Structure 1
């Protein structure tokens, strides 16, 4: 099966799982944010899709219900102006945005929530079921795509993936009591976690992050 067909099959699996088990979660889900291809320079993993149920219904539900499971043709981080996309271009990968064109973007949790507090507020067994389903699929994604590196957005995402995948880490950049950049130990491909791009961080600290991050991603 080609990577393109695999990506469509994955999105169909998520749609069927949501429809059969969690259709009452009106936020729905999202899997990919741009083209999907084998051996990308980067697999970028955020925590989960944001937005409201209306976003899912307006932008995705009809397409999915009609059997269209194809990923987007254009990478949102290159074309959109929302905060995370803009800061990935201007702060995280400043002057090295060719890496975005060579990346695949997804999330550790596929199911949409307005914010993490709202997600944590749903019944624990339901939330854990959706999280475990997503994390198992993400593990499959890493194996299937075989990226050169995995870039993780946010330390909450980092802790979730580290716990599920069972790797040790080393934090290389900090500010006071906050982790800014951590890397996996004895993990192939290497995982690198950064403070969430939406977090207010000084230009000086973003420069510290880039000084560690870019050699890892381009090495």
Structure 2
């Protein structure tokens, strides 16, 4: 089975769950990938979960990407073009992927799969987290079914796609090992830390309070696949220029040829 057909089967399963159980809580729908699902990807990019965007919020649900997915003649396929590729989408993550992560290797963007670890579309990550916490008490069976789908989808695409590299946007300021812990606890991989860069920055917020931010790039070995975890998420609007330069250097040295 091709990697795309495998992902299509997962998308059908997820769509069925969404239509029967989750459409009211997540009216903008679902998305597994913002790119084609290619065989033999060199890189798989793992974001948090699909966002909505200002224009879609103004338009209202469902998200435009759901119209084709719910069409009676739908093939349940994936986008024909990459969001992150040069000349692609203009939202912040897409631009930062081009200008930071792949700045020295833009040709590799066409050999990636752009996906998320969660597939429910929300305006922000806190909305999804709040639903998970509430569902753990009120609808544990639905939460377990959803978690099973997203876990198996990521596991299968990584194990069967066998990429050279996974780039993950994740982590918390108070847990420097979280990117590796997530791969171990959630997806059953066995990462071995190879190196980690950290940059600590202090600044004052609008109320004059001093805030501390630690930016990290974690590099680990998953066996046949290497792993880079970036903290905080690239959607953070205030990543300083020195940190951007650090990330460019750190990542470019570890890109597959």
Q: How large is the Cα RMSD of the aligned pairs?
A: 2.5
Indicate the larger mover: 185-194 or 126-135: 126-135
Q: Distance in 2 between matches of 1:19 and 1:160?
A: 28
SS of 2:16's partner is: helix
Q: Name the structure 2 match of 1:60.
A: 65
For residue 245 of structure 2, the aligned residue among 188, 207, 211 is 207
Label 1:121 to 1:154 Cα distance change in 2 as closer, same or farther (>3 A).
same
1:163-216: per-residue Cα shift (whole Å, max 9, x none)?
Answer: 312434535111126242112245331221113222222222222222222222
Q: Name the structure 2 match of 1:172.
A: 196
Unmatched 5+ stretches in structure 2: 173-177, 201-212
Q: Name the structure 1 match of 2:43.
A: 42
Unmatched 5+ stretches in structure 1: none
TM-score where L is the length of structure 2: 0.75
Q: Distance in 1 between matches of 2:96 and 2:30?
A: 23
Q: Name the structure 1 match of 2:208.
A: none
Q: Answer yes or no: is the 8 Å Cα contact 1:39–1:148 preserved in 2.
A: no
For residue 153 of structure 1, the aligned residue among 145, 162, 169 is 169
Give the drift of 1:56: 5.7
- Structure with the higher helix share, 1 or 2: 1
1:127-160: per-residue Cα shift (whole Å, max 9, x none)?
Answer: 8433343122111111122211111123258354
Q: Name the structure 1 match of 2:9.
A: 9
Q: Name the structure 1 match of 2:223.
A: 187
Which structure 2 residues correspond to residues 50-199 of structure 1 after superposition, within 5 A?
A: 50-51=51-52, 57-66=62-71, 67-78=74-85, 79-122=88-131, 123-125=134-136, 126=139, 128-129=143-144, 130-155=146-171, 158=179, 160-166=182-188, 167-168=190-191, 170=193, 172-176=196-200, 178-195=214-231, 196-199=233-236
Q: Answer yes or no: is the 8 Å Cα contact 2:49–2:117 preserved in 1.
A: yes
Q: Answer yes or no: is the 8 Å Cα contact 2:28–2:63 preserved in 1.
A: no
Q: Alignment length, in residue pairs?
A: 219
Label 1:63 to 1:84 Cα distance change in 2 as closer, same or farther (>3 A).
same
1:36-60: per-residue Cα shift (whole Å, max 9, x none)?
Answer: 1111111001010112676662413
TM-score where L is the length of structure 1: 0.87
Q: Answer yes or no: is the 8 Å Cα contact 1:172–1:182 preserved in 2.
A: yes
